[in-house]
Structure formats: C-alpha cells, structure tokens
Structure 1
Amino acid sequence: MAGHQSAGLGAVLKQPRSVWAVAFASVIAFMGIGLVDPILPAIAADLEATPTEAEMLFTSYLVVTGVAMFFTSWLSSRIGAKRTLLIGLALIVAFALAAGLSGNVESVIGFRAGWGLGNALFISTALATIVGAASGGTSTAIILYEAALGLGIAIGPLLGGLLGSWSWRGPFFGTAVLMAVGFIAIVVLLGKEETKPTPIKLSAPFKALGRPALAVLAATALFYNIAFFVLLAYTPFPLELPALQLGFVFFGWGIGLAVTSVLVAPVLTARMPRTRVLWMTLILLSLDLIAAGLLIDVKAGLIVCVIVGGLILGIMNTVLTECVMEATDLPRSVASSSYSAVRFLGGAVAPPVASELAKIFTPSVPYYAAAGSALVAMLIVLLGRKALARVNAPIESELEEAEAIAIGES
C-alpha cells in the first residue's frame, strides 16, 4: 500500500508545464480567499467600521463569485479557457490594486466584489482546465487542484499577516503583484486549445442543478461552506491577535487543509465509499466547531480547533470535488460552475450572520450555528445517498478512460 501511495504522489507531480502554470496561478487566486482574514480587525479599526461591515469584505467577494460562476462555462466555451483565465486574472489585479488605494470601507467592499468577478472567471475555468490537461486521470487532477487550493489558502493569511503588520493596504498590493506574475505564467506556458470548445448554453448550469446527484452535492456544499467560512472569517475577532500572529494561525490551518486533501483523502476513499467519507467528516467538523464555541475564551484551545478544522476541511474539499466531477455525465465545466456557484453563495451568508449572532447573543453562538449547518449538510448526504450511488464507483485512471472510449467507439 505504501508503494501505491508514493506512485500516486509521483503521478500528481508528473504534469505538463501548462498544468503547472494553471496550478501556480490557482495558488495565487486561492490566496485571495484568506488574504484579508488577518487584517479584518485592522480594517475595522483604521476605517472606523463595525465587525459586520468588515465581514462584508468576504460577503461581497463571495456573492459576486457565486453568481458569476453560473455564467463562466458559457463564456469560456465561446472565447476559450486561456482567454477566460487571463480576463479573470486581469480583473483581480485591477480590483486588488483599487481596494488597496481605497479610503473607506464601502469602497473596499465594492472593489472586493469586482475581485470576486475575476475570481469566478478564473477558478471554475482553472478546475476544468487542470482536469482536461493533467496526466494521470481525473483523480490526479483533482488532488493537484485541491493541493493548489490548500496551499493558496495557507499562504494567503500568512502573506496577509506579514504585509498587514505594515498596513492593511499591503495585502491588496501584494496580491496585485502576484496575480500579474500569474497572468504572465498563463500567457507564456498555457498553449492554445487544440480543439475549439463546444458552445455551452447560458441555461446549462441552472438546468444542471435539476440533476438529483448534483442538486444533493450543491445543497451539501451550501451548508458545508457556511461552516467553513464561520471558522475562517469569524474567528479573527474572538482570537484578538495582531495581524502577523493571526496570519501564522491560519497558515497552520491552511497547511493542515493542504496535507489532508493530498495525502489523507485518497487513502480514505480507497477504503470506503465517498458518501461515507463525506458524512463522517461532516460529523467531525460539527464536533470541532462545538469545541471552538466551548473554548472561545481559551486562545490556545481555539487555535487548536482552527488547526484541527483545517485538517478536516482538506478531506471534505477533495472528496466533495471528486463527487461533483463524477456524479453526472455533464461537461465538467458545467458541473463545476453550477456546483461552485451554490457553494460560494453559502460562504457569502456566513461571515456577517456570524458577526450579528455574536452581537445579539454571545461570541460562542456563531460556532454552534456553524456546527448545526455542518450537521444539516451531513443529513443531506445521508438522505440523498441513493442519488449519489454513482460517486461511490472508483474514479477511472487516464488509461481506463482511454480504454473505455476505445471500446465505445469500436
């Protein structure tokens, strides 16, 4: 079994240059999610904003990302993946720069919304591009994509903390520079598409949610992401740490997420059905969030809950993405964009609601509400397991996929 795992890791690392270019840019794109995390208290203080207003930096970004996701497959199927990726990166550079130059919290919230549009164009197209271009089959591509996500989410808060210790504007300027580097990498390393993509109807991602399997997974992701973003976006306020220290806490969280997404999730799915991994992981997440609520006044205890949460989320992210890619016979760009849209909209609700719950009740209540949301996601998986029967079949390797196509054509 050890040999099998190392061979799997070797397959993940053995990729064309174009895949590495998209993966590198993905790392930077995902850095944008957690980048503002350590500077939320500083933005609230410097721009005289309430915690709820500061949390809107997540909400505006995630709402626009979610809504725009419904239309990304339509656009990329007409102008091609490379152009879509480049437009997305260019928008992120422009809006990150504008956010760093802002003088009030309302402007920063607005520019983060524009950033979300660029992110939507990039993220959903990047997943489909990596799955299409990676060697080693779908499973390898998803592990690579989730590793990029984990690494980006880990580095984002650390960079945010480092640059945020100088000024809250620093992380925005830093992102603009890094995204410009990602833009150049895509231009140089990602070649032209060999075949012209088949145009996808504007209604396709909406109709996709009518498929029972994708509907179940999207609903699961909606409630799961509420829990995810309470842990990520709300925790900086009860922790009450300087920006740099917050950066290190969430760097540890992101490293845990990256490690389990690459090394632990494949081991679990090799030994049990994916649906079982999903509901078991959601139970663990709810227990972790309850512990965070109970330990909210103990800084060390809350930090441990954050790190453990990262380990749990890494498993969940990889397995959920694998399920979405395999649940239907829809084009992967359509499945990715419709599922991701619902997922990000769930995340958009969480930060300001968590802040308001803390203000109305006690600081622990947002964690208990998030634990309840994770349990709702778990119940959706259990109740919808018949619709998800297809996702429990092994993901085919590249060779098996090719053989299946050859048999179908003969």
Structure 2
Amino acid sequence: MLRSADRSNSLLRQPRAVYAVAFACVISFMGIGLVDPILPALAAKLHATPSQVELLFTSYLVITAVAMLITGWVAGRLGSKNTLLVGLALVVIFSALAGASRTIGGIVGFRAGWGLGNALFIATSLAVIVASAAGGFGAAIILYETALGIGIASGPLLGGLLGNVSWRGPFFGVAVLMAAALVATLVLLPPTPRPAVRSRLRDPILALEHGPLARVSLTGLFYNWGFFTVLGYSPFLMHLSALDLGWVFFGWGVLVAIFAIIIAPMLRRRFGTAPTLYVNLALVAVGLLVIGGWAAHPLVIIVTVILFGSVVGINNTLVTTAVMSVAPVPRPVASAAYGFVRFIGGGLAPYVAGKLVEHVGVHVPFVIGAVVVLAGIVSLAGARDALDAADRSDAVPAAASAPVVAAPVGCLEPGES
C-alpha cells in the first residue's frame, strides 16, 4: 500500500490518458442516478405509471448484468482501448436517442442500449487505469473510487438541473459529456495490447461454482434489491421538483463517496469485513422499514434517503472487497460473475416495487426489500470463514497482484464503490 504522501503525489501526477479515462468514468457513473430526479416528471409528461417508469432502471441494469458475461470475451478480441471506445459510442448514441424519444417504451428500449455501452465501458476502465496510472495499484484504486464518488454525487444534481428545464435534458447532457469523453479517450489513450490470456464466455458462470464467491454475490443481489427499491421509488414519495430531487440525491451521493472511500476501509481494519457488513445490512433494512412506515411523510423520506448514502457507501466498498478477497479466480472473472448476479437484483427491484405499489400498497415494497436485505446477512454468514481468513491474510493486495486484463473489473457499484 502507498503512504498518504505518495498517494497524494500519484494522484496529482498522472499521464493524460489516466485523466481521460477517469473523466469518462465520472460521466459513466453519473448515469446511475441521473434519471432519479426526472422520474415523476417522466410519468406525468408521458402519461406513464410508476412501474412503467421504473423500467428505465430495469432495462438498463438487466442488460448491464447480462453484458457483464461477455465483456471479457469482447475485450480480449478488441483490446482495452477499442472496447472503451465502443462502449462510449453506444452510450452517446442511445442516450441521445432516449432524449429524442416520444414514448416511455422508446426510452426504456434506448436505456437498454445505454446499459450495453456502459457495461463495455466499466468492464475495462479500471483495468486501463491500473495499467496506466503512476504510483501503482493503490493510486489507481484511489483515482477510480474518486471518479466513482464524483459521478454518483453529481449525477442526480445534473439530472435535477437539466430536468428542471426539460425531462429530455439529462439524456442529451449525458450524450454531450460522453462524446467529450470519447474524444479525450481516442486522442489521449495510446493503443492497448490485447491480453495474453483471453477470457472465455463461460468463465464467469463457472466461477460461481465456488461457494464463498456465490454466497457473497447473492448478498450483493439481496442488497441491491433493497438499494434500488429506494433509489427507484423514493422520488415519487418526496413530492419535489426535479431540481430539489437533484439536491436530495446529491446529498445522498456525497455521503456514498465519503463512506465508500474513507469510512469503509477504516471499519474493515477495525472490525473485519463480515461483522461490519452484518451491522451495515441491518441498517439498510432499518432504512427501508423507515421509508415504508413513513411513506406519507416527505420530510422523513428526504432525511432517510440522504442518510441512506452512508450505509450504501460502506456496503458497496466492503461487498466488492469481499468478492475480490474470496474469489479463487482472476479479479476480472470474479467481477464479471459478481456484476452479473448483483445487477439482476438491482434491475428487477424497481419494477417490482412499482407493481406492488399499484396493486397492494406503498408500504409493501419497502417491507419486502428489508426482508430481502436481511436474507443477505444469512447468505454472507455462509462465507464467514473465507472472509475472516481473507482479512487475516490481507488478501485484497494479493488479489490485486493477479493479472489484470481487459475484463469486468469496474463493477464497483451503483452507487457502488
């Protein structure tokens, strides 16, 4: 690990290619919460039900999940730079098409294409930063997590500012920013060689045969179910303008970044991965129950959602650390397997929440979300021995020394770090 002074110098003295990719990472991660502030406006303007609007999350995340299984195979044949450029180009095209669409179905479909592009991009961005950054792996991770935090925090605010003008604004805004990132990557990033060992299509699925990796990945799925229930449906409960929603989720994103980058590693060193996650997942469940129990009180929802960012940041960092610690396969393959499992949960939860609200009641999806998140504690307990062993041997740096190839190493979370 680098010392603090070394890390600071490394962060400030990086090749232009690293900053180009880091900038693209910021814009990419903006897309996670970008649509949150405009969900109520989309429902009103396009005469859509909440469950129809929630499909913007579902199509985006489910396609991202499935694409995680093939990105390693694609990158092994195109090379890292070309995979980045293809991913960026797809995001530019489909975000612009979403902004130009006149129907909710059209936007949902274009968000799916956006998800494919985003998967190709995040699948290679960290690998490129690790390979190019000065200061080694430690500095690269700090850069990546910083980009993640800035993107998560600023995405909802940008969505609120542009959405205050028009619901189409956030989509066109992402298209313009991603086009700038594409040009910067094209010009500043030198050609990258294809990896010596190419990933096979079946590698991520085979990796899930490993018990601890499968259990931690299931924990990620259960947690993401609760997380995206909040992220996807809570905007309808606040009764705020797009701009005000943007500020709420900006506050949420700031806490995500602080707790992911600073607090989570401190807690892991002090208490260990598993005990910290047990408590944190329980707090996630409490947050869901508070939102479900006080769904008719917008101020309670606003405060709870902002504070929710703290547990999100801790969980995102530590679950990802857990995956990398217990996986017996190279980091890219483990990330692909984990990304596939967890994004499935994140993609399905918002749509299910919308349907439950329409047919049962507004409290129900949050109560169900809390129960699902608590199931994550049970799943994680099955990997406790492996997690404790990883903590004792400081397995995170060991995993970091595994060969880095152009594959899904960027799966740090939505809201995930």
Pairing 1:40-119 to 2, within 5 Å after superposition: 40-119=39-118
| CA spacing shift, 1:269–1:14, aligned 2, 3 Å | farther
Pairing 1:11-410 to 2, within 5 Å after superposition: 15-136=14-135, 138=137, 140-193=139-192, 196-392=195-391, 393-396=394-397
Q: Is the 8 A contact 2:331 2:400 kept in 1?
A: no
Paired residue type of 2:266: V
Paired residue type of 1:244: L
Quote the RMSD (CA, aligned, Å). Answer: 2.4
Distance 2:319 2:140 in 1: 14
Distance 1:394 1:12 in 2: 24
Q: Is the 8 A contact 2:292 2:364 kept in 1?
A: yes
Paired residue type of 1:310: G
Q: Is the 8 A contact 1:146 1:317 kept in 2?
A: no
Q: Is the 8 A contact 2:24 2:182 kept in 1?
A: yes
Contiguous gaps of at least 5 residues in structure 1? 403-410
Paired residue type of 2:37: P
Distance 1:216 1:139 in 2: 27
| CA spacing shift, 1:9–1:312, aligned 2, 3 Å | farther
Paired residue type of 2:187: V
| CA spacing shift, 1:308–1:12, aligned 2, 3 Å | farther
Q: Is the 8 A contact 1:238 1:363 kept in 2?
A: no
| CA spacing shift, 1:269–1:15, aligned 2, 3 Å | farther
- 1:209 Cα deviation from its structure 2 partner: 1.3
- 1:304 Cα deviation from its structure 2 partner: 1.1
| CA spacing shift, 1:13–1:214, aligned 2, 3 Å | farther
Aligned length: 400
Q: Quote the residue 2:409 is aligned against.
A: none
| CA spacing shift, 1:91–1:282, aligned 2, 3 Å | same
Q: Tell me the SS of whatever aligns to 1:388.
A: helix
Deviations 1:260-310 (A, max 9, x none): 111111211221221222222111111122122222222221111101111
Q: Is the 8 A contact 1:143 1:318 kept in 2?
A: no
Q: Is the 8 A contact 2:137 2:400 kept in 1?
A: no
- 1:357 Cα deviation from its structure 2 partner: 1.6
Deviations 1:302-323 (A, max 9, x none): 1111011111111111112222
| CA spacing shift, 1:15–1:374, aligned 2, 3 Å | farther
Q: Is the 8 A contact 2:7 2:138 kept in 1?
A: no
| CA spacing shift, 1:401–1:140, aligned 2, 3 Å | farther
Deviations 1:377-400 (A, max 9, x none): 111111221243453225338999
Distance 1:6 1:256 in 2: 24
| CA spacing shift, 1:303–1:83, aligned 2, 3 Å | same
Paired residue type of 2:397: E
Q: Tell me the SS of whatever aligns to 2:190.
A: coil
| CA spacing shift, 1:140–1:370, aligned 2, 3 Å | farther
Q: Is the 8 A contact 2:331 2:399 kept in 1?
A: no
- 1:171 Cα deviation from its structure 2 partner: 0.6
Using the size of structure 1 for normalisation, the TM-score is 0.91
- 1:67 Cα deviation from its structure 2 partner: 0.5
Identical columns (%): 48
Q: Quote the residue 2:408 is aligned against.
A: none
Distance 1:164 1:398 in 2: 42
| CA spacing shift, 1:212–1:131, aligned 2, 3 Å | farther
Distance 1:381 1:285 in 2: 15
Paired residue type of 1:215: A
Paired residue type of 1:44: A
Deviations 1:225-245 (A, max 9, x none): 111111111101111211111
Paired residue type of 1:151: I
Q: Tell me the SS of whatever aligns to 1:386.
A: helix
Deviations 1:2-25 (A, max 9, x none): x97676666655544333322211
Distance 1:128 1:14 in 2: 19
Distance 1:398 1:69 in 2: 20
Distance 2:147 2:284 in 1: 22
Q: Quote the residue 1:408 is aligned against.
A: none
| CA spacing shift, 1:49–1:357, aligned 2, 3 Å | same
Distance 2:24 2:76 in 1: 20
Distance 1:261 1:346 in 2: 21
| CA spacing shift, 1:252–1:71, aligned 2, 3 Å | same
Distance 1:394 1:95 in 2: 39
Q: Is the 8 A contact 1:142 1:318 kept in 2?
A: no
| CA spacing shift, 1:178–1:299, aligned 2, 3 Å | same
Q: Tell me the SS of whatever aligns to 1:238.
A: helix
- 1:76 Cα deviation from its structure 2 partner: 0.7
| CA spacing shift, 1:18–1:319, aligned 2, 3 Å | farther
